[in-house]
Amino acid sequence: MENVIPVNEPAPEAETDEKGPSKSALKKAAKEKEKAEKAAKRAQAEEAQRKEAEANDVSKDDYGDLPPDGTLPLPMFEDDKVPFVELSELPELFSDTTKLDEPQGPHVILKARVSNARTQSAKLAFLELRDRLDTIQAVVAASDTLSRQMIKFCASIPSESVVVVHALVKKPKDPVKSATISELELHIKKLYVESRAMTQLPMQVADAERAIPAEGEEESADGPIVTLNTRLNNRVIDLRANLNQAIFAIKFGVEDFFREFLKSRGFTGIHTPKLLGAPSEGGANVFEVKYFGTKAYLAQSPQLYKQMLIASDMKRVMEVGPIFRAENSNTARHLTEFVGLDLEMAFNKHYHEVVSLLEELMLYIFNGLKEKYKRETDLLRSVYKVDEFKLPEAGKVPRLNFAEGIKMLRDAGEEIGDFDDLTTPQEKKLGALVLEKYGSDFYVLDQFPLAIRPFYTMPSAETQAKYDSANPNAGYSNSYDFFMRGQEIMSGAQRIHRAEYLEQRMKEHVSPVDPNSDGLRDYVQAFREGCSKHAGGGIGLERIVMLWLGLPNVRLASLFPRDPGRKTP
Amino acid sequence: MENVIPVNEPAPEAETDEKGPSKSALKKAAKEKEKAEKAAKRAQAEEAQRKEAEANDVSKDDYGDLPPDGTLPLPMFEDDKVPFVELSELPELFSDTTKLDEPQGPHVILKARVSNARTQSAKLAFLELRDRLDTIQAVVAASDTLSRQMIKFCASIPSESVVVVHALVKKPKDPVKSATISELELHIKKLYVESRAMTQLPMQVADAERAIPAEGEEESADGPIVTLNTRLNNRVIDLRANLNQAIFAIKFGVEDFFREFLKSRGFTGIHTPKLLGAPSEGGANVFEVKYFGTKAYLAQSPQLYKQMLIASDMKRVMEVGPIFRAENSNTARHLTEFVGLDLEMAFNKHYHEVVSLLEELMLYIFNGLKEKYKRETDLLRSVYKVDEFKLPEAGKVPRLNFAEGIKMLRDAGEEIGDFDDLTTPQEKKLGALVLEKYGSDFYVLDQFPLAIRPFYTMPSAETQAKYDSANPNAGYSNSYDFFMRGQEIMSGAQRIHRAEYLEQRMKEHVSPVDPNSDGLRDYVQAFREGCSKHAGGGIGLERIVMLWLGLPNVRLASLFPRDPGRKTP
């Protein structure tokens, strides 16, 4: 819940005027003086009492705040027989709960957050301890060796503080339903605060466990929810939610599967420059940087560089890195900085060799997610109420020609020209039609119209054969888009590998560019120096995560998202 | 070799004056006319001859330039029994050379660069074909089925062109010493040019196979070498050299081992933003970006974000990504953009848990390089004449306290204060002393003086105990540097994990920063929300590669290096 700050408090009344203090004012001042003296005395007495209590506190070395560097008191470690464990390890370590009935039963040391602390009585407090996805109940009970002062201390620890505890592991009388580890309970012997959280947090972790509404949708009926904006402003707390831990585990999984598959196919990881001397891809939507008295620009993709590396005989290259787009779009689908998964490869005979490899790559990622991230995927789908992502049967990815896609749309009543680009609603509609016909949320659209692709796209052989200088952008190209749930996740193509043809296409393109411009000169030169046939593609990492899980906003898949209005935290 | 353009050609003489053409001029003009007519006739005759020859050319379908999209002529593929192979596969495929004596012996199709083409006679040409590290000799010999025209065509292919050949694999009479695959030879049957290189390349690949001199060193005595600057200007050709292919194979190896090791230790890959709302680390050396009418800044490291993610319970995080430093240094050690290998982790008791893990990580990388990149490493060392990188015996990395390092330097005659930062020569000297004493090119210097480390560095427990507000930066800190060949490759530390202490240190630091500034507010807030003890470090990927191989310039380890004076190609 967000902080509620009372804004209608009455202003304090004016108590003096120009004539000097009145009788009643003097009387009031005297009263206040008396009150202050009493309070001071009381505080003094309390302090004396506290000191005496502390001196008599049998537990005084067993709890407290650690020093700033977090050094644990030596006694905590003197007994090396007590293992330092992770909360998540407990169920497996103590799966045989019958052994937990011994009075001198097993002790552990562990670190966790206090997600909740409360007193039952002066003699008993309960803490809920949390460590990522796991929670457990901890009991602090007064005894000859555990003081009431310690109970008071434990019960007053603010939520989200980090504590180190030394505890006896026991089996609770009844399973603790509120905890994920319900068959075990910790009986605290020692407790130290490593990091004390502020008492009034700007939002609660629990707030972040709920779905955010999709664009245009109403907020959930069951009570107000913390807005996406508030969550992103308080991202450090927000990310502690299981929902977010799951999203970023999956994001890492996608990246890892991407690398793993491509590495096994002989790809080399590369790093192309993000600072460029001139805008290279058209010039629009590029961020400008001050560079030692000159200007530089942030790379909008590794496109030109990964092609130059093919010309350098690197053969198969992949890059995972930031992509910068200065597009002033404030939609649920756009970020100004995102993670690009890029690849480029030389091929032997036909660019479909590359398309097939890319299809295999995506299936490898999807199957990996199904297998290794089921818990995380299920959690997200249950909260966001999203259908399971349907993979093609027998691993045969539907690959349609663009013309075929247009026909399907027309048959479904859509009005669209042969060479028109698809609008977002048309893409979604085609996705639905493909799902219906082929039973797959994933498909490939091949042979896009030449006119709607970038200048470096290879026209198809048929288009080259029918070339007409009066209409040089007619026909199709060896280019493809990959779709998930009816939204594009990857764009790719065979690229032009010969300098003279590239120069021709640069000039003839719908948006012509100058082969001799600062941003393109070195690129064109690369092909003059000899270059193999090649094709490749680029994938938005956040988009795959969003579409795999059916999230309503791409910002949810970025740790610290950037858009035209957001550059913090 | 660089292009040599003759600059002293005489200017053409003036042939007319104001009086009109002279007799001799008219005579000359008539002669020239006659000459031109003769030339035209000759050309006509040659063209007719060429056409006739082409009509009679028995090989006319077996060679030529491919169309712009590189589509191979169908006959090339009609016989599916001829495999499309890689040049590097040949030695293994045909290890039993006795089988190569059959006249109808094995055929292959393969793609390669022509690194050299020459005619022996009108009936015989030799091509040297290259594919990355491998070269082979190819023979084009006239026969009933192979025309002289085809030989002429093959012999005139410019170096660095990409060709597809269909050839018979044979055993040469004598091993071809000039080729890496010396026990085999290709007898060309068909040859198509996929990409024709320009005839006058700005430099040759062979030029890039030689060492560049170290800073301050003289150029090699055996002839002029192509300067580093020329190589970097023509990086696409430069990178084709074996030397460079080896460097970037190793660079990928380092990154891959880094990920592999950390993943096995439970680290999650993250991507922190590169666009920041405000400079966060001091404000100096930061690039400014135009951001939708406001300003943004390029991240100088993921430092603050990776710590915030520890506060978000991500526990162990790693990032590989670009680092931007607007430092106006034009040395052999500085880049304005490089690849950072970053990590951060929560620990249980003591930050030496992290130092130990980092030592293991580095040994894992070094041993991986020794094992899997021996060929590449040996190649580089032979060219740059560098000693093998010495690893500590029995895997025990020398870990010295800073004070110990100072003592060793003093014992060796160096004048240096207890808390002075080491100069570069002092670092190198200490590296030499450690190598002498411990036999290792890799060591760790621990417990650096507090005053010379960033504000977020955790003072050591002893320093905290002796705290004196009059001299708050005295003493040591829980921080460390890792060294290779006497140069720092990683800097790291335990970080302050408590907000109030962090704020104190921010104010007390030698270069104070404001906890409430735009760049730091969210960072400080993260610790108010509770955070575990943590430590980490950052490594420059290019620096590891440079120091592993003993390269004289860090630019050699960047595909497209960036420095204050270079932002292209």
Task: Name the DSSP class of B142.
Answer: -
Q: Confirm if B566 and B232 have CB atoms less than 8 A apart.
A: yes
pLDDT of A121 over the 90 cut: yes
Confidence of residue A13 (pLDDT cuts 50, 70, 90): very low
Mean pLDDT across A171-200: 96
Q: What is the pTM of this model?
A: 0.91
Pairwise CB contact (< 8 Å): A194 & B497:
yes
**Rounded to an integer, what distance in angstroms lies between the CA atom of residue A497 and that of residue B274?**
32
Residue A362 C-alpha, separation from nearest chain B C-alpha, in angstroms: 20
Nearest residue of A to residue B522 by CA position?
A569
Q: Which residues of A touch B320 (CB under 8 A)?
A: 320
Name which residue leads in pLDDT, B31 or B323.
B323
Quote the domain boundaries for residue B277. 242-557
Of B160, B458, B530, the CB nearest to A195: B530
Kindly state whether residue B219 falls inside one of the protein's structural domains: yes
Which residues in A161-174 are b (16+ Cβ under 10 Å) and which e? bbbbbbbbbbebee
Q: Which residues of B touch A502 (CB under 8 A)?
A: none
CATH value at residue A140: 2.40.50.140
> Average per-residue pLDDT in chain A?
92
Residue A43 C-alpha, separation from nearest chain B C-alpha, in angstroms: 26
Q: Look at residues B195, B222, B251 and tell me which one is the last residue of a structural domain.
A: B195
Assess whether the previous peptide bond of A569 is cis (omega < 30° from 0).
yes
The set of residues, in sequence order, having a beta carbon less than 8 Å from that of B40 and lying 6+ positions away, is none
Pairwise CB contact (< 8 Å): B337 & A496:
no
Choice among A86, A89, A255, A327 that is catalytic: A327
Q: Which residues of B touch A196 (CB under 8 A)?
A: 498, 530
Q: Which residues of A touch B205 (CB under 8 A)?
A: none
Confidence of residue B520 (pLDDT cuts 50, 70, 90): very high
Q: Which residues of A touch B568 (CB under 8 A)?
A: 276-278, 518, 522
* Residue A131 and residue A234 in one domain: no
Strand duo A134-141 + A124-131: pairing = antiparallel
Least confident of A272-281, A444-453, A468-477, B210-219: B210-219
pLDDT of B18 over the 80 cut: no
Residue A198 C-alpha, separation from nearest chain B C-alpha, in angstroms: 6
Nearest residue of B to residue A566 by CA position?
B277
Mean pLDDT across A64-84: 83
HEC string of B345-403 equals EECCCCCHHHHHHHHHHHHHHHHHHHHHCHHHHHHHHHHHCCCCCCCCHHHCCCEEEHH
Assess whether the previous peptide bond of A12 is cis (omega < 30° from 0).
no
A-B contacts at Cβ under 8 angstroms: 277
Residues B556-568: pLDDT tens digits? 999 999 999 999 9
Q: Is A210 a catalytic residue?
A: no
Pairwise CB contact (< 8 Å): A336 & B275:
yes
Instruction: Retrieve residue A385's tokens.
Output: 């109420």
Determine the pLDDT at residue A480: 98
Choice among B235, B334, B350, B352 that is catalytic: B334
Mean pLDDT across A530-542: 97
Name which residue leads in pLDDT, A105 or B479.
B479
Of A400, A441, A395, A394, give the one whose Cα is nearest residue A422: A400
Instruction: Retrieve residue A42's tokens.
Output: 């009381």
pLDDT of B462 over the 90 cut: yes
Q: Which residues of A touch B501 (CB under 8 A)?
A: 68
Choice among B231, B316, B325, B495 that is catalytic: B325
Q: Look at residues A184, A218, A238 and tell me which one is the last residue of a structural domain.
A: A238
| Share of residues in chain B with pLDDT > 90 (%) | 82
pLDDT of A9 over the 70 cut: no
* Residue B140 and residue B249 in one domain: no
Q: Is A333 a catalytic residue?
A: yes
Name which residue leads in pLDDT, B27 or B200.
B200
Mean pLDDT across B63-74: 89
Name which residue leads in pLDDT, A558 or B30.
A558
Kindly state whether residue B6 falls inside one of the protein's structural domains: no
Determine the pLDDT at residue B4: 35
Pairwise CB contact (< 8 Å): B70 & A533:
yes
Determine the pLDDT at residue A14: 40
Name which residue leads in pLDDT, A16 or B31.
B31
Pairwise CB contact (< 8 Å): B287 & A291:
yes
Kindly state whether residue A50 falls inside one of the protein's structural domains: no
Residues B219-256: pLDDT tens digits? 555 656 789 999 999 999 999 999 999 999 999 999 99
Pairwise CB contact (< 8 Å): A337 & B269:
no
ipTM given for this complex: 0.91
**Rounded to an integer, what distance in angstroms lies between the CA atom of residue A324 and that of residue B96?**
53
* Residue A396 and residue A421 in one domain: yes
Q: Is B350 a catalytic residue?
A: no
* Residue B149 and residue B265 in one domain: no
Residues A475-490: pLDDT tens digits? 999 999 999 999 999 9
Residue B319 C-alpha, separation from nearest chain A C-alpha, in angstroms: 10
pLDDT of B13 over the 70 cut: no
Q: Look at residues A171, A195, A219 and tell me which one is the last residue of a structural domain.
A: A195
By three-state DSSP, how is residue A90 classified? helix
Beta bridge partners of B131: B134
Of B161, B269, B559, the CB nearest to A270: B559
- With 0-12 CB in 10 A as exposed, 13-18 as middle and 19+ as buried, what is A116? middle
Name which residue leads in pLDDT, A144 or B283.
A144
pLDDT of B512 over the 60 cut: yes
Choice among B333, B350, B562, B566 that is catalytic: B333
The set of residues, in sequence order, having a beta carbon less than 8 Å from that of B484 and lying 6+ positions away, is B389, B441, B442, B543, B544, B547, B548
**Rounded to an integer, what distance in angstroms lies between the CA atom of residue B52 and that of residue B59?**
14
Confidence of residue B354 (pLDDT cuts 50, 70, 90): very high
C-alpha torsion sign, points B80, B82, B87, B90: positive
Q: Confirm if A496 and B193 have CB atoms less than 8 A apart.
A: no
Residues in chain A: 569
**Rounded to an integer, what distance in angstroms lies between the CA atom of residue A560 and that of residue A164?**
29
Residue A27 C-alpha, separation from nearest chain B C-alpha, in angstroms: 42
Q: Is B503 a catalytic residue?
A: no
Pairwise CB contact (< 8 Å): B160 & A529:
yes
Residues B370-393: pLDDT tens digits? 999 999 999 999 999 999 999 998
**Rounded to an integer, what distance in angstroms lies between the CA atom of residue B298 and that of residue B337?**
10
**How far, in Å, are A1, A5, B11 from residue A9 at the CA level?**
21, 10, 93
Kindly state whether residue A511 falls inside one of the protein's structural domains: yes
Confidence of residue A203 (pLDDT cuts 50, 70, 90): very high
Kindly state whether residue A1 falls inside one of the protein's structural domains: no
pLDDT of A8 over the 50 cut: no
Q: Which residues of A touch B541 (CB under 8 A)?
A: 271
| Share of residues in chain B with pLDDT > 70 (%) | 94
* Residue A324 and residue A434 in one domain: yes
Mean pLDDT across B498-525: 96
Kindly state whether residue B478 falls inside one of the protein's structural domains: yes
Kindly state whether residue A28 falls inside one of the protein's structural domains: no
Choice among A128, A488, A503, A542 that is catalytic: A488
pLDDT of A511 over the 60 cut: yes
Determine the pLDDT at residue A395: 83
Confidence of residue B283 (pLDDT cuts 50, 70, 90): low
Determine the pLDDT at residue B218: 62
Instruction: Retrieve residue A176's tokens.
Output: 């603790």
Pairwise CB contact (< 8 Å): B268 & A255:
no
Q: Confirm if B283 and B297 have CB atoms less than 8 A apart.
A: no
Determine the pLDDT at residue B104: 77
* Residue B232 and residue B304 in one domain: no
* Residue B112 and residue B168 in one domain: yes
Pairwise CB contact (< 8 Å): A564 & B292:
yes
Confidence of residue B3 (pLDDT cuts 50, 70, 90): very low
pLDDT of A292 over the 80 cut: yes
Pairwise CB contact (< 8 Å): A236 & B275:
no
Kindly state whether residue B436 falls inside one of the protein's structural domains: yes
* Residue B291 and residue B369 in one domain: yes
Name which residue leads in pLDDT, B1 or B319.
B319
CATH value at residue A468: 3.30.930.10
Give the residue ranges of DSSP H helices in B392-531: 402-411, 424-438, 461-465, 499-508, 521-528
Mean pLDDT across A52-80: 84
Nearest residue of B to residue A130 by CA position?
B313
* Residue A170 and residue A220 in one domain: no
Strand duo A442-446 + B442-446: pairing = unpaired
Task: Name the DSSP class of A530.
Answer: -
Q: Is B491 a catalytic residue?
A: yes
* Residue A278 and residue A221 in one domain: no
Determine the pLDDT at residue B395: 83
Name which residue leads in pLDDT, B31 or B543.
B543
Pairwise CB contact (< 8 Å): A560 & B273:
yes
* Residue A481 and residue A550 in one domain: yes
Place of tokens 């898949």: A557
* Residue A115 and residue A215 in one domain: no
- Assign residue A313 a region: left if phi > 0, alpha if psi is -120 to 50, beta otherwise? left
Residues B104-127: pLDDT tens digits? 789 999 999 999 999 999 999 999
Pairwise CB contact (< 8 Å): B239 & A270:
no
Q: Is A488 a catalytic residue?
A: yes
Q: Which residues of A touch B198 (CB under 8 A)?
A: 528-529
pLDDT of A288 over the 70 cut: yes
pLDDT of A151 over the 70 cut: yes
Determine the pLDDT at residue B23: 80
Of A162, A275, A337, the CB nearest to B531: A162
Q: Which residues of A touch B497 (CB under 8 A)?
A: 70, 194-195
pLDDT of B131 over the 80 cut: yes
Q: Which residues of A touch B197 (CB under 8 A)?
A: 528-530
**Rounded to an integer, what distance in angstroms lies between the CA atom of residue A464 and that of residue A462?**
5
Pairwise CB contact (< 8 Å): B69 & A458:
yes
The set of residues, in sequence order, having a beta carbon less than 8 Å from that of A157 and lying 6+ positions away, is A114, A117, A127, A163, A193, A196
Mutation site, B329, B498, B520, B522, interface A, largest A CB count within 10 A = B498
Q: Which residues of A touch B293 (CB under 8 A)?
A: none
Residue B340 C-alpha, separation from nearest chain A C-alpha, in angstroms: 11
**How far, in Å, are A112, A545, B307, B347, B528 from residue B316 at the CA level?**
15, 21, 10, 9, 20
Mean pLDDT across A44-49: 86
Residue B266 C-alpha, separation from nearest chain A C-alpha, in angstroms: 11
Mean pLDDT across A497-517: 96
Confidence of residue B199 (pLDDT cuts 50, 70, 90): very high
Domain count, chain B: 3
Residue B37 C-alpha, separation from nearest chain A C-alpha, in angstroms: 32
Residues B179-192: pLDDT tens digits? 999 999 999 999 99
Mutation site, B312, B373, B504, interface A, largest A CB count within 10 A = B312
pLDDT of A4 over the 60 cut: no
Q: Is A185 a catalytic residue?
A: no
